[in-house]
Amino acid sequence: MSNNGRMVLSDFINPPPVDQIGIEERVARLNKRSIKKKSKISALKLALSMIDLTTLEGKDSKGKVRQLCNKALHLHDSFPDLPHVAAICVYPPMVPTAVECLSGSNVKVASVATAFPSGMTSLQTKLSEVRRVVRMGADEVDMVISRGAFLRGKYKFVFDEIASVKEACGEAHLKVILETGELNTLDNVRLASDIAIGAGADFIKTSTGKIQPASTQPVALVMMQAIRDHYFKTGKKVGLKAAGGISNAKTAIQYLVLVKETLGVDWLTPDLFRFGASSLANDLLMQILKQTEGVYQSANYFSKD
Amino acid sequence: MKKRLDVLKTYKIYIGGKFPRTESGRYYLLEGKDKKPIANICRGSRKDFRNSVVAARKAFPEWSGRTAYNRGQILYRIAEMLEGRREQFVSELKVQGDSTTKAEKEVNISIDRLIYYAGWTDKYIQIFSSVNPVASPHFNFSVPEPTGVVAVIAPEESGLLGLISVIAPVIAGGNSCVVLASHSKPLCAVSFSEVLHSSDLPGGVVNMLTGIRSELLDNFSTHMDVNAVIYCGDDKKESKRIMENSSLNVKRPHIINTRDWTKEKAQDPYQILDTQEIKTTWHPIGI
Amino acid sequence: MATTEKILDFNSVWEYSPAPESTDHIKLDDKYDLFINGEFVAPKNGKYFRTENPATGKKIAKVAEASKADVDNAVRAARTAYNKYWSKMPAKERSKYIFRIARIMQERSRELSVIESLDGGKPIRESRDIDIPLSAAHFFYYAGWADKLEYAFPGRKTKPLGVAGQIIPWNFPLLMAAWKIAPALATGNTVVLKPAETTPLTAMKLAEIIQEADLPPGVVNIITGAGETGRAIVNHPGLDKIAFTGSTVVGKYIQKTLAGTGKKYSLELGGKAANIIFEEADIDQAVEGIINAIFFNQGHVCCAGSRLLIQEGIADEVVHKLKNRMETLIIGDPLDKKHGYRSYQFESPIKKNKRTCLSRY
C-alpha cells in the first residue's frame, strides 16, 4: 500500500521472471500424455462446451451470424447428448442479430469491442463502444489492450484503460485480450497477464486471431501460472481463453491437459476456460463420432457454419 | 537386334530439391571414347546458378539448425542409398572411361568417405573449439559455425569420388552449396543428386549443376550472397581470377589442386574447417 | 486460508483412462543362455534364475547364471577375437560394424522399449523417448570415432587396452550397456559384459542385434549372473580393464581387489546431488527442475537431485508449489503411456520421498 492508502500498480504487480526453455519443456512433456478411450471422449465433449464460436470478418453479415447461431444450437442433431458451445463471438453491429437468435438458450453472446483488433482509437470511443454493446444485450465483452503503450513501458496507462473498460461493462463479464503474438517474450506475457488480472479482468485471453502467432501452448501456460498465483494470493479465480490457431481436437485436448495439471479441475469448465475457434468445433465433432462409431469421418458431412 | 529397346535417361540438373532442365535450354554432347554419343548434358547458365543460390540460402538456416547428430544420420543415409545403387554408378563410371576394377574401387571409397564424414558431424566442433583463459573477468570461448552458402567447382578428373570428397565436408559442417560437376564426367553427379534426393537431405542443401567451367567461373566467384568458393583444379589463371573475384564480398576462396582422391589422406576434418567461421564470445563473469 | 496452504485439486474430474502400450509385437523367449563367441550357449552348471516384471511380480523369462568356468570361456573368446580379428581390422571397417548396431537398434526401438519397461519397471514414456534413442545414438556417435582417434588426444597415439570386463547396474539397463560397449569397441577393444541380474533382457536382445549385425564372434560377449559372476569377472587375470557402474560400496571393493594387479579400471559410483534455488529464479520452472531431478527414473540416477537448498526468502513459496506439483504425479503400470513414474508391488517410493522431503514443514 502506498502512503495515502490508494493502491498503485507496483503494490501488486511484481511478476516473476519466466524461464522460456523450462516452459517449452514442460509443454512438450505434457503434450506426451496419451489421452484415450473414455477420457478422450469426455475431453472432446468438454472442449466442445468451452468453444466461443467466432466470426470476426469484415464481410460478416446478418445471414452469416444467423447461420452461426444456428450451428451453436444444433451442432450435429443426429448425434444425441452433445453439449452446446459456450458462446458466439461477433463484431458489435452483429450483436442484436446474435441476441435475437440465441434468446432463450444458454449460449452467451460475446462481443469484441474497443476498436478490435488494433485498439487504435481514443479511450472515449472505446468506452462508448463497450457501453453500446452491453446495452444491445452482450453478455461478455472481449477487449484488446494497448500493445504499443505496453511495449513502451506505459503500464499504468494500460492498467487504467482496462479498469475503465471493466467499469463500463457493468454486469457483462470482461475478457482482456493481450495479443501475445505482439508481446514477443514470455516475460511480457506474464506482466501483461498480471496487469490485466489486477485491473479487474474476468478472463484473460491470448489473441485476436488476426495475426500470427495466435495462441500457443507456452503462452497459455504462462498465463495459467499468473492466474494460479493470483488465486493463491487472493482466492479469486480468473478464467483463460485461448484463441486462434487451435484448429484440431488433438491440440485442444493438449490445452485441457495443461489446464488440468496447472490449475486443477476447478478450471475445467466453460465458466473459467474457453477456446476461441471456428473450425475446431467440426474437428471435435468428427473425433467424437469416430470414437463412438469406430470409423474415420469426412468433413463433408458436417456444416461449415 | 535386341528385342527390347532401352529407355534413355534424360540428365537434368538438381535445384532446390527438384530436377528442372537448364533454363537456358542449351546443352552439350557428352561423347564416349569412340566419339559415340552418351548423353545430352545441361549447359547450366548464370540464371541456373542464381536460382541455385536462392535455394541454397533458403535451405541454409534449417540445415545448420539441425542437430549435429541428425546431420550425421543423414550423411550415413546417403551412404546407405549409394551402396544400394552401386551397380548404376559403376556402369556410369565405365561408360565415362574407367575400367571395372577402378570403377568399383571408386564407388567403394565414395561410400566409405560419406561414412567418414558422417562420423565427424558431432565431433569436429569439439576438436576445433576452445575455452580461452583470458586475463580479464570473462568466460571466453571460440566455436566454429558454418559459413553459409558455398559455391563448389568440383574436380574435373574424378566424377564421383572427387565430387563427394568436396561436397561431404561442406554439408557435414552445416553449410548448403551449389556445385558445378565435372565437365567430362558429369553422369555420376546427376545420379548422385538422385541419391541425395532419396536420403532425407532437405532440398536446397546441395544444388547440382552441369555445364562449362569457363562460362560459369565468374558467376560462382562473384555472387554477393555466396560466402565461400571451392575451386578444384590446377589452372593458375582460373584460380587467380577466383581469388580476385572473391574480394568483392570477401568470400573465402579455397583452391584444391588435382590429387589422388582414393588415398586416405584425401579425407580429414580440416576440410570441414575450411567452410567454418570461428566465433569467439566474451561473456562477463563475476558479480 | 494462508496462501501457502492451498492445494489445488488435480484429480477429481476427468481422470485419464489407461493408455497401454501393446506388447504383442515383441519377441521374448522363455529362456536366455549366455552369449559367448557369437552364440548362445548353456551355462556350464545348468543353472538359471528368473527375471520378473516388478510392476506385477510375474516371471518374464529365465536367464542363465554364469559360473567361473563360463566367465573364463567368455574372456578367452574375447581375447581370441581381439588377437584374430578386432585388432587387425582397419578402423573404418570397425566403425561400420558399430554403425550397423546403431541402425538396427533404431529399427527395433519399439520392441526394445517395451521389453525395457517390462523387465525393469521403467515407464514406457522414458524407455521409448529417452533410454532407447540415446542408446542407439551412443553407438552411432562412437562408431564415428573409430577411425578418427588420432584427433582425439593431441600429441598422443592411441592403442587399445585389449579385453575389458564390464559390469552394469539396473537403473538404465540398455543405455548402460551402450555406454560401456560402444566406446570400448570403437577404440579397438573386445568386451565381456555382465548386465544386472534384475534387468538382463535388453542386454540379451542387444546380443541378438549384435548377431544380426554379423559382428565377428567373441568381440562382444554378454554373460548374465549376479554377485558371484561379477566377482569372477573382477578377479579374472585375463582382463586388461574393469569398467564398473554401481554402488560406492562395491566400487571400493573393486578398487581394493585390483590394487597391484596392473589392471586399469573406471568406477562410476553413487552421488548425492543438490538442487540449489536462489530468489531470482523462475520458481515454477525451478520446481519442474526439482521434480525432474528427483523423480526422473524414480530418482534411480547417480546424479539425482536428492537434496534441496533454497534461499530462505522464497523457501515457503517453493515448498508450497512443490507440494502442488507433486499432487499431479501419476503412478501406475509402467506400460501405460500416460505415466511418468513407475509403480512397485510394494510401498510407493513417491510417498516415501514426499515424507522425507517435506518433513521439516
Predicted confidence (pLDDT) at residue C28 exceeds the cutoff of 80? yes
Q: How many beta-carbon pairs below 8 A join chains A and C? A: 76
The pair phi, psi for residue C137, each rounded to 5°, is -65, -35
Query: Residues of C with CB below 8 A from B129's CB?
Result: none
Question: What does DSSP say about strands C31-32 and B276-284: parallel, antiparallel, or unpaired?
Answer: unpaired
The predicted complex's ipTM stands at: 0.87
**What is residue C354's predicted lDDT score, i.e. its pLDDT?**
44
The SS3 assignment for A103 reads coil
Separation between Cα atoms, residue C87 and residue C96, nearest integer Å = 15
pLDDT band at C21 (very low <50, low <70, confident <90, very high): confident
Taking CB atoms and an 8 Å limit, are B69 and C145 in contact across chains? no
DSSP string, C103-152: HHHHHTHHHHHHHHHHHH---HHHIIIIIHHHHHHHHHHHHHHTT-GGGT
CA distance A22 to chain C (A): 6
Does residue B91 contact residue C117 with C-beta atoms inside 8 Å? no
Q: Inter-chain contact B115–C152, Cβ cutoff 8 Å?
A: no
Name the average pLDDT for chain A. Answer: 92
- Judged by CB atoms within 8 Å, which residues 116-135 of B form the interface with C? 116, 118-123, 127
Pick among A18, A21, A30, A34 to test the C interface (most C CBs inside 10 A):
A34
What confidence category does residue A256 fall into, taking pLDDT thresholds of 50, 70 and 90? Answer: very high
End-to-end CA distance of chain B: 88
What's the rounded mean pLDDT across residues C301-315? 89
Is the CB of residue A22 less than 8 Å away from at least one CB of chain C?
A: yes
The pLDDT value recorded for residue B178 is 98
Instruction: Label residue C335 by pLDDT band (50, 70, 90).
Output: confident
The pLDDT assigned to A268 comes to: 96
Residue A236 CA to residue A226 CA, distance in Å, equals 12
Residue C258: the pLDDT is: 96
Q: Are the C-beta atoms of residues C144 and C129 closer than 8 Å to each other?
A: no
Looking at C252, C268, C284, the residue that finishes a domain is: C268
The answer to whether the CB atoms of C95 and B119 lie below 8 A apart is yes
The residues pairing with B31 across neighbouring beta strands, listed in sequence order, are B37
Cis peptide before C90 (omega within 30 of 0): no
pLDDT score for A9:
63
Largest CA distance in chain A: 67
Burial class (CB in 10 A: 0-12, 13-18, 19+), C184: buried
DSSP-assigned letter for residue C86 = I
Residue A220's Cα: distance from chain center in Å? Answer: 10
pLDDT exceeds cutoff 60 at C4: no
**Of residues B109, B224, B92, B212, the one with CA closest to residue B153:** B212
Tell me the pairing of strands B37-42 and B27-31: antiparallel
Whether residue C14 lies inside any domain: the answer is no
The residue assigned the cell 508450497 is: C320
Examine the fold and report which residue of C268, C294, C316 is the final residue of a domain before the chain moves on: C268
Q: Looking at residues A75-102, what average pLDDT do you find? A: 93
Mean pLDDT of B267-283: 96
> How close does chain B come to C94, measured CA to CA in Å?
12
Pick from B57, B269, B76: which is nearest to B176 by CA?
B57
Ramachandran bin of A274, using left for φ above 0, alpha for ψ from -120 to 50, beta for the remaining angles: beta
Pick the closest to residue A181 from A149, A222, A158, A210 (CA basis).
A210
Q: Which residue of B has its CA nearest to C141?
A: B119
CATH code: domain of residue C289: 3.40.309.10
CB A292, CB A65: distance < 8 Å: no
Asked if A43 is an interface residue toward chain C (Cβ–Cβ < 8 A), one would say: yes
Residue C257 shares a structural domain with residue C353: no
* Chain B 67-86, residues with CB within 8 Å of chain C CB atoms: 69, 72-73, 76
For the segment B151-169, what is each residue's pLDDT rounded down to a tens digit?
999 999 999 999 999 999 9
Choose the weakest-confidence range: A277-291, B262-276, C234-248: A277-291
Q: Is residue C331 part of a domain?
A: yes
Report the C-alpha gap between A182 and A211 in whole angstroms.
8
C-alpha C2/C-alpha A14 separation (Å) is: 19
Give the confidence band of A89 by pLDDT, cuts at 50, 70, 90. very high
- What CATH architecture does domain B40-284 belong to? 3-Layer(aba) Sandwich (3.40)
Domain boundaries, chain A: 33-301
What's the CA angle centered on C106, arms C102 and C108, to 5 degrees?
A: 115
Mutating which of C130, C278, C279, C282 best tests the A interface, going by the most A Cβ atoms within 10 A? C282
Query: CA triplet C12, C13, C19: central angle to 5 degrees?
Result: 105
C319 assigned to some structural domain: yes
What is the pLDDT at residue C196?
Answer: 96
The single residue of C65, C268, C317, C357 carrying the catalytic annotation is C268
In the structure grid, which three cell numbers stand for residue B81, read together?
A: 542409398
DSSP string, C235-270: H-TT-SEEEEES-HHHHHHHHHHHTTS--EEEEE--
CA distance C299 to C353: 10
Helix axes C91-107, C132-145, angle to 10 degrees: 170
C-alpha neighbours within 13 Å on the C-beta side of residue A129: 20
Would the pLDDT of C63 be above 80?
yes
What average pLDDT does range B197-206 have in this prediction?
A: 97
C234: nearest Cα among C244, C225, C226, C224: C244
| Residue B140 contacts residue B132 (beta carbons within 8 Å) | yes
pLDDT at A4: 45
Let me know: does C340 contact C125? Beta carbons within 8 Å.
yes
Domain A33-301 has CATH 3.20.20.70: yes
Least confident of A22-26, B96-100, B140-144, C291-295: C291-295
Provide the 8-state DSSP code for A178.
-
Q: Which residues in chain A are closer than 8 Å to C129, comparing Cβ atoms?
A: 32
Is residue A160 part of the annotated active site? The answer reads no
CATH of residue C106: 3.40.605.10
Cell of C174: 540398455
**Residue C355: pLDDT band by 50, 70, 90 thresholds?**
very low
| C220 beta partners | C191
- Whether residues C212 and C317 share a domain: the answer is no
Choose among A19, A37, A235: nearest Cβ to C282: A19
Three state DSSP letters for A23-40: HHHHHHHHCCCCCCHHHH
Q: How confident is the model at residue A17 (pLDDT cuts 50, 70, 90)?
A: confident
Residues C288 and C246 in one domain: no
Domain final residue, candidates C226, C241, C268: C268
Mean pLDDT for chain C overall: 90
Q: Which of A71, A126, A166, A205 is catalytic?
A: A205
Q: Which of C103, C144, C152 sits opposite B119 (nearest CB)?
A: C144
**Predicted confidence (pLDDT) at residue C349 exceeds the cutoff of 60:** no
Residues of C in contact with B127 (CB under 8 A): 151-152
Beta strand pairing call for B138-146 and B130-132:
antiparallel
pLDDT value at position A10?
66
DSSP character at residue B61: H
Domain-embedded: residue C11: no
Answer whether residue C35 shows pLDDT above 50: yes
C12 pLDDT tier (thresholds 50, 70, 90): confident
- What is the span of the domain harbouring residue C43? 31-268
Q: What is the DSSP string of A183-230?
A: T-SHHHHHHHHHHHHHTT-SEEE---SSSSS---HHHHHHHHHHHHHH
Does C332 score more than 80 pLDDT? Answer: no
**All cell numbers assigned to A117:** 483488433
Give the pLDDT score at C341. 59
Which other chains touch chain B, taking contact as 3+ CB pairs less than 8 Å apart?
A: C
Q: Do the beta carbons of residue B274 and residue B117 sit within 8 Å?
A: no
Q: What order do you get walking across the sheet with C59-64 strand by strand?
A: C31-32, C59-64, C48-52
Cα dihedral C94, C95, C98, C102, rounded to 10, equals -170
Separation of alpha carbons A204 and A216, rounded Å: 14
Whether C148 contacts chain B with CB within 8 A: yes
φ, ψ at C268 (rounded to 5°): -110, 110
Residues of chain A found within 8 Å of residue C12, distances taken between Cβ atoms:
265
Task: Convert the pLDDT of each residue in B167-179 to its tens digit.
Answer: 999 999 999 999 9
pLDDT given for residue A195 in this prediction: 95
Q: Is B106 helix (H, G, I), strand (E, B) or coil?
A: helix
Instruction: Answer yes or no: A40 catalytic.
Output: no
Percent of chain B with pLDDT over 70: 99
In a domain, C16, yes or no: no
Chain C residues lying within 8 Å of B83, measured CB to CB: none
A11: pLDDT strictly greater than 60:
no
Query: Mean per-residue pLDDT for A229-244?
Result: 94
Using CA atoms, how far apart are residues A200 and A126, in angstroms rounded to an integer?
Answer: 17
Bridge partners (DSSP) listed for residue C177:
none
> Does residue B47 have a pLDDT over 70?
yes
A260 Cβ under 8 Å from any chain C Cβ? yes
Q: Is residue C17 part of a domain?
A: no
Q: Are the beta carbons of C207 and C221 closer than 8 angstroms?
A: no
- Asked if the Cβ–Cβ distance from B112 to C99 is below 8 Å, we say no
Residue C336 has a pLDDT of: 81
The confidence score (pLDDT) of residue A8 equals: 58
Average pLDDT over residues C9-15: 86
Interface contact B112, partner C, CB < 8 A:
yes
Q: Which of A82-96, A138-152, B126-140, C5-19 has the lowest mean pLDDT?
A: C5-19
Contact B120 C148 (CB under 8 A): yes
What is the tens place of the pLDDT at every residue in C152-206?
Answer: 998 899 999 999 999 999 999 999 999 999 999 999 999 999 999 999 999 999 9
Predicted confidence band at B100 (pLDDT cuts at 50, 70, 90)?
very high
d(CA B277, CA B69): 20
pTM: 0.85
Look at A43 and C14 and tell me if their CB atoms are within 8 Å: yes
From chain C, which residues contact A within 8 Å (Cβ)?
1, 3, 6, 8-19, 125, 129, 280-285, 288-289, 320, 328, 336-338
pLDDT tens digits for range B63-85: 999 999 999 999 999 999 999 99
Q: Does C18 touch chain B (CB under 8 A)?
A: no
Tell me how far apart the alpha carbons of residues A283 and A295 are, in angstroms, rounded to a whole number: 14
Subunits with 3+ C-beta pairs closer than 8 A to A: C
Are both C113 and C127 inside the same structural domain?
yes
